Amino acid sequence: MIHTISKQASVLNTFLAEIRNVEIQKDPLRFRRNMERIAEILGYELSKRLIFQEENVTTPLGQAKIELVKEEILLATILRAGLSMHQGLLNYFDHAESAFISAYRKHSTAEEFEIYVEYMATPNLDGKTWIISDPMLATGSSMVTVYKAMLRQGNPKRIFIVAAIATPQALAYVQKHLPENTEIFVAAIDEELTAQSYIVPGLGDAGDLAYGEKI
């Protein structure tokens, strides 16, 4: 199931416009904060799909019945570009555990590459609800490679994918290779993917914009 949040006009569109805008992109602090806010909104929308249980909370004057999340949440992000979105999700799922995975493209030609996972730090992942974030889903290869690497640390109860911008090709690829009950939350879907696997209109390199150009 794919949820495209920008289909309904909201303040999310302001943050989307700013991460795309070449002038506003010159301010890395604002870029990171906008990514964080996009993740917060996606996390809020995602939370409606979680399992809740009614509990009593003691107030100074009595008891209040409140529906609270009853799933073990694991937030996983793909380094380094995903760190801002990870923080946004952690702002809302503040009791969640965290996993960090480094994945990168190794090009054989300008148009051909493989995805390598170089580093992974995770708690026990078995039986938990995984929320995996990555700002850009261009081909979906990084997400699928990271998912397969995470399986070495346990099997998920279910999976949510969170991304700022995705392509139809990436969404189809992820749906094909991840479990059928995986749900994907994206802020926007861009239709074009270049021969070099860049999203158009996209926004450029999210990692470079957030943390500086890599060498």
pLDDT one-digit tens code per residue, 60-96? 999 999 999 999 999 999 888 889 999 999 999 999 9
**pLDDT at residue 110 above 60?**
no
- How far is the C-alpha of 43 from the C-alpha of 45, rounded, in Å? 5
**To which H or E segment does residue 4 belong?**
strand 2-4
Longest CA–CA separation in the chain, Å: 68
Query: According to the model, what pLDDT value does residue 50 have?
Result: 96
What pLDDT, on the 0 to 100 scale, is given for residue 116? Answer: 77
What local confidence, expressed as pLDDT, does residue 109 receive?
A: 63
Report the mean per-residue pLDDT for the chain.
Answer: 91
Please tell me which residue, 36 or 213, carries the higher pLDDT value. Answer: 36
Distance CA 109, CA 21 (A): 30
Q: Residues with Cβ < 8 Å from 118, sequence gap 6 or more? A: 102, 103, 104
- Dihedral angle sign, alpha carbons of residues 30, 31, 35, 36: negative
Tell me, what amino acid is at 211? Y
Domain 2-51+70-211 fold is Rossmann fold (3.40.50)
Instruction: For residues 106 and 56, give the distance between their C-alpha atoms in angstroms, rounded to a whole number.
Output: 52
Q: Which residue has the higher pLDDT, 48 or 110?
A: 48
Contact of 91 with 69, CB cutoff 8 Å:
no
Can you tell me whether residue 160 is helix, strand or coil? strand
Extended beta strands in 37-168, E state: 52-59, 62-69, 73-79, 97-107, 113-121, 129-133, 136-137, 158-166
In the structure, what pLDDT confidence band is assigned to residue 195 with cuts at 50, 70 and 90? confident
Query: What integer pLDDT is reported at residue 2 of this predicted model?
Result: 94
Run of H or E including 189: strand 183-189
Q: Where are the domains of the chain?
A: 2-51+70-211
Of the given ranges (29-43, 107-121, 163-177), which has the lowest mean pLDDT? 107-121
Q: Give dist(CA 25, CA 61) in Å, integer.
A: 49
Q: What is the mean pLDDT of residues 25-35?
A: 95
pTM equals: 0.90
